Amino acid sequence: MNKVLVLAEARDGQLRNVSFEALAAAQSIAAGGEVIAAVLGKQAGDYANTLAAYGAGKVVVVDNDALAQYTPDGYVQALAEVIKQVGPDAIVAGHTSIGRDLAPRVAARFGYGLISDVTAVEDGGVFTRPIYAGKAFQKRKFVDGKIFVTIRPNNISASAPDNSKTAEVVAVPVEIKDLRTIVKEVVRKTSGKVDLSEAKVIVSGGRGVKSADGFKPLEELADVLGAAVGASRGACDADYCDYSMQIGQTGKVVTPDLYIACGISGAIQHLAGMSNSKVIVAINKDPEAPIFQVADYGIVGDLFEVVPLLTEEFKKILA
């Protein structure tokens, strides 16, 4: 590929980790070609040096107040103008809420082929993605035309940053008009400071936590580990926590380095959202719980006894 364009995402004034992973994927796809990063939003130019450090040879900036919050119409207009000026052979974006919404719109507009939710990129342009709720994987390859790929967070390792690298920065003015959606305010109902979809460690609770207060021991363990707190649909349906924490087939799909499941039985819908975690630790009173079939380590016991013990041990180790 001669040119590969990466859509970088920022949140709360910081680039998301998936942007760096997308740059690594783009370098593999480009196979020596040019990797260009595009960043959209208010004060978007602030991210240029960081993107250069992670491998962008050129950074295209669309700085517009109308792009401060994601809207489909605004981002489609901005990215479409970038594509017209850059003329990329391939586009890479994160398989995030923005990427999932934006990619098919842009791919359809420009006639790009689209492979979504990619977990690995191999030499020769072969892309691996999960199917059947993660029970199987398929390898796909484009045979003709230009391509659009979205990659799942926490699956493709980002390159080590090199702060000595610089990139050409190009400002692209775009007139954003005819917005059908205007975001007045964003109210986040998150489990903590760590983004659940990009967290390296997740402590998750199910119906076994018994109440909203039952998440407090999990939150204490998460604070010690610098982890995010997630939940099964059962816990969300029981009103123990907000649905923004839900992991599973109808919630978020996560692939952390460590997933600690507390009081989660392991219904197939939940496993679809976390079974590809690198290490799974299950804590459950029922020794026959299905979660133990996918767990690397299992603890049969009451989570209200086990989790505080783990918290104290991790405090000692990390101290």
pLDDT above 80 (res 186)? no
Q: Are 149 and 29 in contact (CB under 8 A)?
A: yes
The two tokens of residue 99 are: 């990427």
Fold of 3-171: Rossmann fold (3.40.50)
Average pLDDT on 146-159 reads 94
Average pLDDT on 303-310 reads 96
Give the pLDDT band of residue 319 (cuts 50, 70, 90). confident
pLDDT of the residue at 1: 65
3-state secondary structure 96-143: CHHHHHHHHHHHHHHCCEEEEEECEEECCCEEEEEECCCCEEEEEECC
Convert the pLDDT of each residue in 117-143 to its tens digit.
999 999 878 999 998 877 889 999 998
Looking at the chain, which residues constitute the CATH 3.40.50.620 domain(s)? 3-171
Looking at the chain, which residues constitute the CATH 3.40.50.1220 domain(s)? 196-318
Return the closest-CA partner of residue 91 out of 172, 147, 151. 147
Give the pLDDT band of residue 189 (cuts 50, 70, 90). low
CATH for 196-318 is 3.40.50.1220
Pairwise pLDDT comparison (104 vs 43), residue with the higher score: 104
pLDDT of the residue at 190: 54
pLDDT of the residue at 181: 80
- The distance from CA 210 to its chain's CA centroid, rounded to whole angstroms, is 29
pLDDT of the residue at 241: 94
Residue type at 81? Answer: E
Average pLDDT on 175-183 reads 84
pLDDT above 90 (res 179)? no
Average pLDDT on 252-273 reads 94
Convert the pLDDT of each residue in 25-70 to its tens digit.
999 999 889 999 999 988 888 999 999 999 999 999 999 888 888 9
Return the closest-CA partner of residue 301 out of 316, 319, 286, 291. 286
Average pLDDT on 190-211 reads 85
